[in-house]
Amino acid sequence: MITAPSDYDVHLFHEGSLHRAHKMFGAHLLKTRKHISTRFTVWAPHAQSVSVVGNFNQWNGNEHRLEKINEEGIWTLTIDQSLEGEIYKYEIITRSGTKLLKADPFAFFSELRPNTASIVYDLKGYKWGDQRYRQRVKRRKPIYERPLSIYELHLNSWKQKEDSSYFTYRELVDELIPYVKERGFTHIELLPLTEHPLDASWGYQGTGYFSPTSRFGTPHDLMYFIDHCHQEDIGVLLDWVPGHFCKDAHGLYMFDGEPAFEYDKTSDRENWEWGTANFNLTKGEVQSFLISNAIYWMEHFRIDGIRVDAVANMLYWANSEPLTENPYAVKFLQKLNTAVFDENPQFLMMAEDSTDWPNVTAPVHEGGLGFNYKWSMGWMNDVLSYMELPPFARRDHHHKMTFSLVYAYSENFILPLSHDEVVHGKRSLLHKMPGEYWEKFAQLRLLLGFMMAHPGKKLLFMGAEFGQFDEWKFVQGLDWFLLDYESHSQMHKYTQNLLEFYHQNKALYELDHDPQGFEWIDADNAEQSIFSFIRRGKRKKDTLMIVCNFTNIEYNDYKVGAPFEGRWEEIFNSNEGSFGGTGTDHLVKIDTQAAPAHRRDHSLSIHIPPLGITVWKPTK
């Protein structure tokens, strides 16, 4: 229910504990049986005066002035008419007498860029159809014991129409959802959907944190899209940027002529690398704004998780030499995660943190930051730098593929092969692979297979699933025409089969965060660049043996120590002919021999394909 700002809510807002500030601030339609009025409330602590202006008053700041209700700078006004659908801004007179026109920080909808006004929008009225999905989520095992495979995508450039225009949220229901479901991903992760002025920022430099971008339709249209994702059992995750924001004139920057949402001190405020301003996390009002924003997306759009961008940028003071920890950011992140999980214990809070900050995924009451997942940036960097080496040189960098197991259980990790690694001259995953054409595809299959076999949940950026050859071109759609070529079509089939295989084998996810779920067979064969290891589920019969060969040399009788005696069946081989490999599609069964190998009493003599991964399972 929308009510006038109460003294208690005002107190909580300034304290940093108003977790639904969007119900107090912004533009709200106040409805009775016979009448509708519109209330505007904004925080502008340094303003001399604030007016709401729009077409409804010919943008005349003298018509509708807001009343300042406290010394901390909350202003409010109720206009005795429905302004639903009207565009508006706040006209702010600063202490120096300068006139500013600002979009509403709490606006629920905004004009399509390049226009920048806010729009009065009623979020009520959408009828959800995802009740069964929500009930299933509540009944399921914890995500730590289930498969989690995330398809990361940028809505602008996943696919475009023939005239290069974007598909709408509603059109994407028919375009995107069947594709994701067929491929076998459990979730999609959308690059930021908060309103932003510049397409080239990919949404990471926002101005409207409560306003889903109008590039693809209305907030109700986005609800429709998420609703239909849920109805097809696909979770929806949003990329979210609570560390810094865009400096465009209509946005949050110097909102009332002086620092309000940002730090006062220039060195703390300015994010020189990105040309943005850092949120002032010492202020209770900013904490209320950001925590409310996270809960707003949960409550009104029913998202299933948030990937928190650039956590490292928050944990350390900007421009500090040497790097100095920001204790206010630590407390904010703990406060944020506590609030989120109080709302929904099944929610996913994922930190994109490139540092070695400890206990990112430890509970707050144990001194951790309180996330339940962290992107394993170290794994990503090590593995990709290894894969970019020519096979003959990999022997000297063997440790890059084993080091991640030293810390694999220090946090709950997601293994990301993300958008950041395939842009700005870094090349696509396929193009990173050295060698001839067939070797590139073989190594991409091997890389994805290794990721699926490694402890941790999985994330893959769009295009890699079919071997996008050019790096990500965010101004145009993916090169879908590549599917007309056999190698790319086979790669497409491979990733679909690989994800299906991942879901079918509990050893690949059930003990992801338990050291009992992984054991090396041979981590030291640098000379041949072969890695062999065991993945375990809760039952012995689910045990898998994985062998990865990162050179283009083929072995016909490679001896590998068996996890235990008996008959083993090859159940996956990335070199199958139907995937574009050089082998057959006939998978074999082999009995162990009483011949010691790798400190084990029994061994298997197996065929190892070049630049390939094979997976074995015990069978009767």
Which phi and psi angles does 223 have, rounded to 5°?
A: -60, -40
Q: Is 310 helix (H, G, I), strand (E, B) or coil?
A: coil
Give the Cα separation of 64 and 617 in Å (integer): 73
Which phi and psi angles does 26 have, rounded to 5°?
A: 95, -165
Give the Cα separation of 590 and 618 in Å (integer): 10
The H or E element containing residue 382 is: helix 377-387
3-state secondary structure 216-251: HCCHHHHHHHHHHHHHCCCEEEEEECCCEECCCCCC
CA geometry: angle 422, 552, 512, nearest 5 deg = 60
Decide if 309 is catalytic: yes
Determine contact, residues 467/437, Cβ cutoff 8 Å.
no
Determine contact, residues 105/252, Cβ cutoff 8 Å.
yes
Determine contact, residues 221/170, Cβ cutoff 8 Å.
yes
The pair of structure tokens assigned to 293 is 């924003």
The pair of structure tokens assigned to 550 is 């990162």
Give the Cα separation of 573 and 467 in Å (integer): 18
Give the Cα separation of 437 and 440 in Å (integer): 5
Determine contact, residues 274/313, Cβ cutoff 8 Å.
no
Number of Cβ within a 10 Å radius of residue 511: 20
Determine contact, residues 491/445, Cβ cutoff 8 Å.
yes
Q: Which of 319, 307, 263 is nearest to 286 (CA)?
A: 263
Q: Which of 8, 401, 464, 476 is nearest to 199 (CA)?
A: 476
The H or E element containing residue 556 is: strand 555-561
The H or E element containing residue 188 is: strand 187-190
Determine contact, residues 495/514, Cβ cutoff 8 Å.
no
Decide if 352 is catalytic: yes
Which residues, other chains included, contact 248 with Cβ-Cβ below 8 Å and sequence gap of 6+? Answer: 116, 197, 207
Give the Cα separation of 216 and 494 in Å (integer): 32
104, 189, 256, 352: the catalytic one is 352
Q: Which of 416, 398, 311, 321 is nearest to 356 (CA)?
A: 311
The single-letter DSSP state of residue 363 is -
Give the Cα separation of 583 and 491 in Å (integer): 15
Which phi and psi angles does 451 have, rounded to 5°?
A: -60, -45
Which residues, other chains included, contact 375 with Cβ-Cβ below 8 Å and sequence gap of 6+? Answer: 307, 350, 351, 352, 353, 413, 414, 416, 418, 459
309, 353, 411, 576: the catalytic one is 309
For the annotated catalytic residues, the residue numbers are 309, 352
